[in-house]
Amino acid sequence: MKPKIGVMIVGMSGATANTAIVGAIAGSEKEKTLGSIISTQEFKDINFISDRQIVFGGWDIVNKNAYAAALDYEIIPESIVKKQRRKLTNLYPLPGISTNYDVSETKSSDHCIQTDNLKSAIDKIKNDIDDFRARERIKTCIVVYLGPPLKQVDRDFSQVHKDDLEKMILDNSSYITSAMIYAIGSIKSNCGFIDFTPNITLEVPGIIELAEEYKVPVAGRDGNTGQSLMKTVIGDMFRIRNFKLEGWYSTNILGNNDGLVLSRSEHRKLKMQDKLGVIDPIVGYNDFEHVVDISYYMPRGDNKESWDNIDFLGWLGLSICMKINWIGRDSILAAPLVLDLIKHLYHSISNEQSGIQEHLAMYFKHPLACGVLPFTQAYEKLKTHYGICSDEEER
Amino acid sequence: MKPKIGVMIVGMSGATANTAIVGAIAGSEKEKTLGSIISTQEFKDINFISDRQIVFGGWDIVNKNAYAAALDYEIIPESIVKKQRRKLTNLYPLPGISTNYDVSETKSSDHCIQTDNLKSAIDKIKNDIDDFRARERIKTCIVVYLGPPLKQVDRDFSQVHKDDLEKMILDNSSYITSAMIYAIGSIKSNCGFIDFTPNITLEVPGIIELAEEYKVPVAGRDGNTGQSLMKTVIGDMFRIRNFKLEGWYSTNILGNNDGLVLSRSEHRKLKMQDKLGVIDPIVGYNDFEHVVDISYYMPRGDNKESWDNIDFLGWLGLSICMKINWIGRDSILAAPLVLDLIKHLYHSISNEQSGIQEHLAMYFKHPLACGVLPFTQAYEKLKTHYGICSDEEER
Amino acid sequence: MKPKIGVMIVGMSGATANTAIVGAIAGSEKEKTLGSIISTQEFKDINFISDRQIVFGGWDIVNKNAYAAALDYEIIPESIVKKQRRKLTNLYPLPGISTNYDVSETKSSDHCIQTDNLKSAIDKIKNDIDDFRARERIKTCIVVYLGPPLKQVDRDFSQVHKDDLEKMILDNSSYITSAMIYAIGSIKSNCGFIDFTPNITLEVPGIIELAEEYKVPVAGRDGNTGQSLMKTVIGDMFRIRNFKLEGWYSTNILGNNDGLVLSRSEHRKLKMQDKLGVIDPIVGYNDFEHVVDISYYMPRGDNKESWDNIDFLGWLGLSICMKINWIGRDSILAAPLVLDLIKHLYHSISNEQSGIQEHLAMYFKHPLACGVLPFTQAYEKLKTHYGICSDEEER
Amino acid sequence: MKPKIGVMIVGMSGATANTAIVGAIAGSEKEKTLGSIISTQEFKDINFISDRQIVFGGWDIVNKNAYAAALDYEIIPESIVKKQRRKLTNLYPLPGISTNYDVSETKSSDHCIQTDNLKSAIDKIKNDIDDFRARERIKTCIVVYLGPPLKQVDRDFSQVHKDDLEKMILDNSSYITSAMIYAIGSIKSNCGFIDFTPNITLEVPGIIELAEEYKVPVAGRDGNTGQSLMKTVIGDMFRIRNFKLEGWYSTNILGNNDGLVLSRSEHRKLKMQDKLGVIDPIVGYNDFEHVVDISYYMPRGDNKESWDNIDFLGWLGLSICMKINWIGRDSILAAPLVLDLIKHLYHSISNEQSGIQEHLAMYFKHPLACGVLPFTQAYEKLKTHYGICSDEEER
């Protein structure tokens, strides 16, 4: 019998998390392969776990069962959601934790614990994971961070090693974010950890050292879903075709909670950094104008829309212009990537690989360790990891 | 001293040819690298000829010098064109040849020879090349076909081998097109031959056998400039990301001569075939709707504009939509590719490579021998040919 | 008690007709006001009939009840359709009639009578109307033509007066279309007649003379729904702001039956004529390029999408460009206009107005009698008819 | 002989002002009619002054002659600019004035006088005008405000009448902006005054009272050029067609000085207010999402581009979506309106009309006195003023 794998999601009532959970449980096997990289022919010989092996749980400040949340979101068609009404109705989030960098909705929620004692907060996460493991009789557990973008922390963590980090926790340092607490608690509970958001967690050296110590694999940062994906694809074409980028203007309109939070300047900084950072490493220069706007626009709901205007120079320095209008449900783009990542991480666990899983670069806007790669190079990197020969060789 | 290379262009007064010639002669070295694949860092160690080594000549039914043509087109800024007024004013096309498949303008031109005797037509091309070589004291010569799209020939040439072909010529077969005559004449004069148009020339087995016999390299078919380029780029992303394509609607508006000719149904068939054929081999299926429209729309001139609406399915079978609006001068996209191809072909000649130059696949909508490849795979193929290590290996 | 009004629709199983019928019967009162001109405040004092007074019936070659058709179309949300399941299930079309100009699907349908005897075909229509009146105990009846666009008739009807027309019918002239038969039969049964399609019916002088003789009001031609509506709006802005139009390129992609039929060149001529004719009368000149494309593109279904590229000249002759991308269900745009027209026509009947109802110009691409008007002028014309003072006067 | 009219422009080296000046002096008569409302047939019987009667002068913080500025802007083709080289080279701005609300570039310019004494600043403006009149031997003079948007003043001026205003000036109130000083100085010099910017000048009751006292006509506020124009056009269509607006997202990218200044939040407030205020009065409700973004994006230069996404509800509450992409030189749109306004104002002066010229509403985003009107209603208002019968009556 195939083993059960526990997956605990931070922000499990959010749109992407709820979509991933509900789709994994109620979606048809065939339609769930769409948008999933590891469901292509190329990966057919790799032994990934199936959605059915996953047992979901997690935390959220919104205390709503997965069924109710899915009906409210109206992202997955009702006819699919209703297929697993009972199972979904029983899926409730545990109360979350917060610190000063959280969005105001989190801090004011009564399904959230704001603690001044960091150690006890970490212990809560560990206890929650232990309880979940015990209740579900599960050994292996992976935690996925899908909470809203936090405020940027006014402190450089790039030299904060394990000892400093432990000290900061004991000192109840006000610079520690809730995302870091989730990461630390998860790792100390021997869980793999994925950060699908632009927050600073796995970039803290001390946290990676912890992952190495506890021998758990981690992956991040910031899921590469629509607009940034296109930038790694088209930026690479520009590099190869030798078009000189003059300017790239991107605007995003969305009306879900993510849009609301990102419309607040203090919460958009990290996201912006990630969004603004994807082109330079690919084209190899930065003397072009890069503007990214995100607007909260209610009528769109989760159906995010982006418009890009790209100006570049061709032969003899003459102008060429391309505009891209992308209309797609954010959560539908993100959910299969989240599930892919869970399966990759379990594969790593099974193969006793720990620390940053660099081969997962193509899933992230800001891939840890290796940095942004052109889309197809990132893809080759993934295939190489699994010993899949490149398309070129195959032919 | 670096050798001079002769380049004779069929349709040298057309927009793309004229732009390539005038830009190569009058453009600044730095700005001419833009849009040229071999001008990137990757190819810096390969020894390609420079634009300055090229001596241009060719045929056209419009008897206009290159300077006058450039001023009429208004594609290259006047300030650049005027820098080489004298040189360009002296560049005149030889009279062209035509058969029944040519556009009516060709057939009625008085700067064009319509012959019923195919052998003498081939001899004219050979004599023209000989004269050009003698006058310019040039040994190596390459012919580039850039004439307008011909009518589709109502005969299958896929089994016409050398003997059949020679027989058809002797019989003055009405199925032989002017493009074939140019190809045969060029090859028999020991010239490399490039077909940048959707016409059937290098797909005739007999012509390839001729190229092998005369030991000349050939490359084709149909330059991969804007919209189709994007299809090989985005189609590949769909394949990798496992998005299921439902439909791709492409429309093109352009007001140059190419647009005028393509607006005539009998001349658009081959072009359409090439345009419609670029996605299937990349995504690996054909159960989607693919529509391509080309409209002659005068106000656009050479400044071609395309609009694409792409519908695809993501996770759980839910719809995602992308629209691309591309605005760019057709000739500016094509010209550096034409010059790249000339330099590649000369490299092949220097290295005594003959027949289909399969490594040039990325330059064509319908690459001979290997078929359509995803954009970055075609690029790897090119680099492999030149012994350049892949991006991935480099890292 | 308010009287019941009979409405018989030609093509009642088609998308627009079915949407109008199902929405009128099952839609909420409030949401049915949207998209309806006469539901604005301006018309609040005019006494129009309500949807509830309408009894629907009609003809179609597809023998499907209104409930089944609505579920198949998926235009109106299932939750609305199901509210009136019983009523809609009982709504069946009578068999239609056809002549040579009909689409092949019509001609080959077994729920359609192809007759060589025009008089008997007219009698069938009259009998069908009589039966409907008797069964539903209705006095006043209006017929709406919503069939697919027919092939263009190769005969000029602009001088065919009543006597000629009667003679052609007796002679079983092959130039008479099924649409004309419906029009003649309807008028002779004392029904008001609306032609919402681009077919030639009410432009035949003899048919108008018949309408005058039978004292019935008629209105046409070709509903002004999306793209053409925008042309009458923006064209007027160009005229007033003195921008010189250089070119207007319009493309439409749609995947419903209308799209399928219009993709056949012989059936698109009249539609094109109407679409191409809406700008000239408004800007007052025709020296600009006007291109209209319609492509059948299955993934869109009834969710028609159009893309317009408009080039115009501003001060000093410098170029300005506007692009419009319109995404909207065709039937949802058309249905409230159809219902509006029914109510207008009943108002005319009540007030004993017959012949062409010129005040309804704003509802049509090709308004009979007065020709195309700028959007707001057509609106003022409508208000004037009802004695509603203009916005300007009101202020 | 026709009289000469003096026109002094505040910000005469800016893109719109320079374009208006250079085009008026050097443009061809025929091409100058484009984009000008009063150059249409409708106004052919009204006696407006011609461009040739205008003598230009003005102020700017950038001390550059009109010829040099035009070459730098590259908005008007060089070939036109060079036609009047001498005349344009002699056109220099006088030094401007500034207060705390000006942009930092103004305050730090050495071609600008920052005064703490408001009365002496007003006197400077008056003296400048007197000198200009004397030097050019001109009687009638009109001042046009085209300076950059100022910071919003943190004080409500809606009740500041003439006496309060005079007192504030004597007290050297820090709330008085440079725009107000220009307005007051101009009016006290008996000049007509036009405010083409979103600044608060003519909304101060005291300034209007001054205009009445000095018997000069004034007009404002904020030129209605591209995106807002479209809103008054399409908003009106929504009202008439009874579509319910759900959301209108507008983004603007431009790389000229206007874009730079508007990218600073403290300078965009008033502009935003005007841009956000144009739809509500037309559709008659405000329960929709209206977002307007302006981004400084260098590659665009003066060639402003806007993208609008408009969501609205049609019949049965179903969604329709329209997207508009507008690409046009801002200054080319604005310049003919500025010249139109000058001619209108001179017409008012000739007819001894003073105070707010309400009939000019269609030229402004935020028309004084009457408020925003639907586009064609505003046009009717203009025609009525000149006794031109409406289109409707004409027919």
CB contact (8 A) between residue A336 and residue B315: yes
Q: Which of B358, B392, B361, B356 is nearest to B378 (CA)?
A: B361
Q: Over the stretch A325-356, which tens digit does the pLDDT of each residue have?
A: 999 888 999 999 999 999 999 999 999 999 99
Which of A48, A285, A376 is the best residue to mutate to test the B interface, defined by the most B CB atoms within 10 Å of its own CB?
A: A376
CA atoms within 13 A on the CB side of D367: 27
Preceding omega of B395 cis (within 30 degrees of 0): no
Residue pair C31/D317 in contact by the 8 Å Cβ criterion? yes
Of all residues in chain A, the one with the smallest CA distance to D308 is A307
> How far is it, in rounded angstroms, from Cα C322 to Cα C320?
7
Of all residues in chain A, the one with the smallest CA distance to B392 is A377
The length of chain C is 395
Which residue ranges of chain B lie beneath pLDDT 70? 390-395
Residue pair B253/C291 in contact by the 8 Å Cβ criterion? yes
DSSP per-residue letters across D315-336: GGG-EEEEEEEEE--HHHHHHH
> How far is it, in rounded angstroms, from Cα B347 to Cα B341?
10
pLDDT at B393: 52
| Mean predicted confidence (pLDDT) in D371-394 | 85
CA atoms within 13 A on the CB side of D23: 32
Preceding omega of D221 cis (within 30 degrees of 0): yes
CB contact (8 A) between residue A289 and residue D309: no
Which of D248, D272, D294, D298 is the best residue to mutate to test the A interface, defined by the most A CB atoms within 10 Å of its own CB?
A: D298
Evaluate if residue A394 carries a pLDDT over 80: no
> How far is it, in rounded angstroms, from Cα C166 to Cα C181?
11
Of all residues in chain C, the one with the smallest CA distance to D313 is C34
- DSSP at A37: G
Share of chain A above pLDDT 90, in %: 80
* Location of structure tokens 């009740």: D159
Chain C: give the shortest CA distance to residue D365, in Å.
Answer: 15
| Mean predicted confidence (pLDDT) in D8-35 | 96
pLDDT at C357: 98
Q: Is D247 on the interface with A (CB under 8 A)?
A: yes
Burial profile B109-142: b = 16 or more Cβ within 10 angstroms, e = fewer: bebbbbbeebeebbebbbebbeebbeeeebebbb
Enumerate the residues of chain A whose CB falls inside 8 A of the CB of residue B363.
Answer: none
Enumerate the residues of chain D whose CB falls inside 8 A of the CB of residue A246.
Answer: 299
Positive or negative, the CA dihedral A14, A17, A23, A25 is: negative
Q: Over the stretch C214-242, which tens digit does the pLDDT of each residue have?
A: 999 999 999 998 888 999 999 999 999 99
Q: Is C27 on the interface with D (CB under 8 A)?
A: yes
- DSSP at D360: G
User: Strand (E) positions, D242-376?
Assistant: 244-254, 289-296, 305-313, 319-327, 355-356
Coil, strand or helix at C294: strand
Q: What angle do CA D48, D51, D52 make, to 5 degrees?
A: 110
- Band (pLDDT 50/70/90 cuts) for residue A256 is confident
| Mean predicted confidence (pLDDT) in A212-218 | 97
Mean pLDDT estimate for chain A: 93
pLDDT at A39: 96
pLDDT at B11: 95
pLDDT at B280: 93
CB contact (8 A) between residue C293 and residue B293: yes
Mean pLDDT estimate for chain C: 93
Q: Over the stretch C3-36, which tens digit does the pLDDT of each residue have?
A: 999 999 999 999 999 999 999 999 999 999 999 9
Which of B29, B318, B329 is the best residue to mutate to test the A interface, defined by the most A CB atoms within 10 Å of its own CB?
A: B318
Positive or negative, the CA dihedral D281, D282, D288, D293 is: negative
- Band (pLDDT 50/70/90 cuts) for residue C395 is very low
Q: Considering CB atoms only, which of C251, C305, C311 is closest to B293?
A: C251
Enumerate the residues of chain A whose CB falls inside 8 A of the CB of residue D305.
Answer: 309
pLDDT at B300: 85
Residue pair B311/B319 in contact by the 8 Å Cβ criterion? yes
In degrees rounded to 5, what are phi and psi of residue D117?
-105, 105
Coil, strand or helix at B103: coil
Evaluate if residue C392 carries a pLDDT over 70: no
Q: Which of B10, B312, B18 is nearest to B181 (CA)?
A: B10
Q: Over the stretch A133-192, which tens digit does the pLDDT of each residue have?
A: 999 999 999 999 999 888 888 899 999 999 999 999 999 999 999 999 999 999 999 999
Of all residues in chain D, the one with the smallest CA distance to C227 is D322
> How far is it, in rounded angstroms, from Cα A81 to Cα A367?
33
Positive or negative, the CA dihedral C376, C379, C385, C389 is: negative
CB contact (8 A) between residue D322 and residue C324: yes
Helices (H), B74-223: 78-81, 85-89, 104-108, 118-136, 162-170, 178-188, 205-213
Going by C-beta distance under 8 Å and a sequence separation of 6 or more, which residues neighbour residue A86?
none
Evaluate if residue D64 carries a pLDDT over 90: yes
Chain C: give the shortest CA distance to residue B307, in Å.
Answer: 8
Burial zone of B33 (CB within 10 Å; 0-12 exposed, 13-18 middle, 19+ buried): middle
Q: Over the stretch C91-114, which tens digit does the pLDDT of each residue have?
A: 999 999 998 888 888 888 889 888
Q: Is D246 on the interface with A (CB under 8 A)?
A: yes
Q: Considering CB atoms only, which of D246, D253, D300 is closest to A299?
A: D246
Q: Over the stretch D195-250, which tens digit does the pLDDT of each residue have?
A: 999 989 999 999 999 999 999 999 999 999 888 899 999 999 999 999 999 999 99
Evaluate if residue A315 carries a pLDDT over 50: yes
- The radius of gyration of chain B from alpha carbons, rounded to an integer in Å, stands at 21
| Mean predicted confidence (pLDDT) in C232-255 | 94
> How far is it, in rounded angstroms, from Cα A385 to Cα C200?
68
Of all residues in chain B, the one with the smallest CA distance to C292 is B295
Share of chain D above pLDDT 70, in %: 98
Q: Which helix (H) or strand (E) holds D235?
A: helix D227-241
Q: Which of C310, C107, C324 is nearest to D322 (CA)?
A: C324
What number of H helices and E strands is found in chain A? 17, 12
CB contact (8 A) between residue A298 and residue D249: no
pLDDT at C153: 87
Going by C-beta distance under 8 Å and a sequence separation of 6 or more, which residues neighbour residue A214?
A187, A188, A190, A354
Preceding omega of C221 cis (within 30 degrees of 0): yes
Q: Is D305 on the interface with A (CB under 8 A)?
A: yes
For the CA atoms of C237, C239, C241, C242, the dihedral, rounded to the nearest 10 degrees, stands at: 150
Give Cα separations from B214 to B47, B369, D105 (angstroms).
Answer: 24, 19, 71
What six digits make up the tokens of C302? 């009834």
Residue pair B226/B306 in contact by the 8 Å Cβ criterion? yes
Going by C-beta distance under 8 Å and a sequence separation of 6 or more, which residues neighbour residue C321?
C309, C310, C311, C312, D326, D327, D328
> How far is it, in rounded angstroms, from Cα A372 to Cα A381?
12
Coil, strand or helix at C304: coil
Q: Over the stretch D105-161, which tens digit does the pLDDT of each residue have?
A: 888 888 988 877 999 999 999 999 999 999 999 999 999 999 988 888 889 999 999
Q: Is D393 on the interface with C (CB under 8 A)?
A: no
Q: Is A251 on the interface with D (CB under 8 A)?
A: yes
In degrees rounded to 5, what are phi and psi of residue C30?
-70, -45
Going by C-beta distance under 8 Å and a sequence separation of 6 or more, which residues neighbour residue D129?
D8, D141, D143, D185, D186, D189, D191
Q: Which of C308, C294, C304, C330 is nearest to C235 (CA)?
A: C308
Share of chain A above pLDDT 70, in %: 98
> How far is it, in rounded angstroms, from Cα C343 to Cα C346?
5
pLDDT at A307: 96
pLDDT at D286: 94
In degrees rounded to 5, what are phi and psi of residue A10?
-80, 120
Which of D286, D297, D319, D320 is the best residue to mutate to test the A interface, defined by the most A CB atoms within 10 Å of its own CB?
A: D297
Q: Over the stretch A32-68, which tens digit does the pLDDT of each residue have?
A: 999 999 999 999 999 999 999 999 999 999 999 999 9
Q: Which of C187, C230, C234, C225 is nearest to C207 (CA)?
A: C187
Q: Is A376 on the interface with B (CB under 8 A)?
A: yes
Helices (H), chain A: 15-26, 29-33, 66-73, 78-81, 85-89, 104-108, 118-136, 162-170, 178-188, 205-213, 227-241, 257-262, 265-276, 280-283, 330-350, 375-385, 391-394
CB contact (8 A) between residue A289 and residue D295: no
What six digits make up the tokens of A230? 């296109």
> How far is it, in rounded angstroms, from Cα A117 to Cα A114?
9
CA atoms within 13 A on the CB side of D174: 2
> How far is it, in rounded angstroms, from Cα B312 to Cα B339?
36
Evaluate if residue D360 carries a pLDDT over 80: yes
